[in-house]
Every structure is written in C-alpha cells, then in structure tokens.
C-alpha cells in the first residue's frame, strides 16, 4: 500500500495535472484546521497513524503546528476567543457526539488501512461496515473528532 510520499519534499502534492505547494506561490492550497487540547499530542497522532510529516510544531506565541499528509495539510492549535478578523467566533474542541464536519479519508483498500492504522494505535468506533455503496468505519482522534475511512464499492467521482 502506497501511503507515503517517499523520497520527496512534503511541501508539494500533485492532484490531477496540478501541483500544490504550502505556502502557495500561485493560486491557493486548501488545508484543514482543528482546534485541539494538546498540539504535540495531535501532531504525534497524525504522524504515527497516517505517516504525516510534522513541518512545524507550533510555538508559544500562538503559531499552529503543520502536519502534511497525503494531499492535504493539517493545522492544529489550541482554542481561544475572538480575534480582530473573526470578532464573534470562539474556537474550542468538539462535542464528540454532535459533529458538523470531519476529515473523510477515501482509501483504495479499507481492510489494509484498518489493520495498519489500528496497529499504530488508531481507535476505531467499529470495524469496516458496508453501507450506501461503500465500506466505512470511523476513527476517534485524540480530541474526539471523527475521521471517516471509506472505500467506494460502486460509485466513481472523476
């Protein structure tokens, strides 16, 4: 199973015919931000389970940690109250049973991913279960976020 960008830089990824960089020199690159209780704990989790590359561990002046994995970058930081650019918004760790959005990892071989990621310490809610034209299961990350792991069995989206 090829789950690692081996022997190459971790600040670019290729999707289709295009290459994306972090930070981008042209256009834009999409990343995912998670509010976490412990930056180091989260960085280690995504490094260990998914072969993420920790590009930055954050700092005491408020910088987030950056973890590159597969086609995306994860930014993790502790929560906090409003800032001038989002004056009404408070960031906090989630209620693990009432979720709005989550990372959804589409895989080529769900059995192989389930076994590998479980062996690395990922806590799965259930084993992979067939449902709606796919086989799915969910991981809880250290802050209670769910991470969907799914393999499509009868659907193709470009």
- Tell which positions 128-157 bind other proteins, by CB under 8 A: 128-129, 131-133, 136-138, 145-146, 148, 151-152, 155-157
> Binding of other proteins at residue 71 (CB under 8 A)?
yes
Question: In the bound complex, what is the minimum distance in angstroms from residue 18's beta carbon to other proteins?
Answer: 8
Shortest CB 40 distance to other proteins, Å: 18
- Counting contacts by CB under 8 A, is residue 60 touching other proteins? no
Question: How many Cα neighbours within 13 Å face the side chain of 115?
Answer: 4
Most distant CA pair in the chain: distance in Å? 48
Q: Which of 101, 52, 44, 106 is nearest to 74 (CA)?
A: 52
Q: Is the peptide bond before 130 cis (omega within 30 degrees of 0)?
A: no
Asked if 56 interacts with other proteins (CB under 8 A), we say: no
User: Which neighbouring-strand residues pair with 72?
Assistant: 69
**Residues 90-129 interacting with other proteins (rule: CB under 8 A):** 90-94, 96-108, 113, 125-126, 128-129
């Amino acid at each position: 199973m090829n789950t690692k960008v081996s022997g190459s830089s971790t600040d670019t990824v290729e999707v289709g015919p295009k290459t994306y960089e972090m930070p981008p020199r042209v256009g834009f690159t999409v990343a995912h931000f998670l509010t976490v209780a412990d930056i180091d704990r989260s960085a280690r989790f995504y490094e260990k389970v998914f072969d993420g590359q920790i590009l930055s561990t954050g700092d005491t002046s408020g910088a987030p940690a950056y973890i590159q994995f597969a086609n995306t970058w994860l930014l993790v930081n502790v929560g906090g109250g409003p800032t001038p650019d989002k004056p009404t918004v408070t960031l906090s760790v989630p209620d693990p049973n009432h979720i709005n959005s989550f990372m959804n990892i589409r895989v080529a071989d769900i059995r192989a991913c389930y076994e590998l990621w479980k062996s690395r310490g990922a806590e799965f809610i259930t084993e992979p279960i067939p449902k709606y034209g796919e086989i799915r299961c969910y991981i809880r990350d250290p802050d209670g976020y769910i991470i969907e792991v799914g393999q499509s069995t009868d659907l193709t989206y470009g």
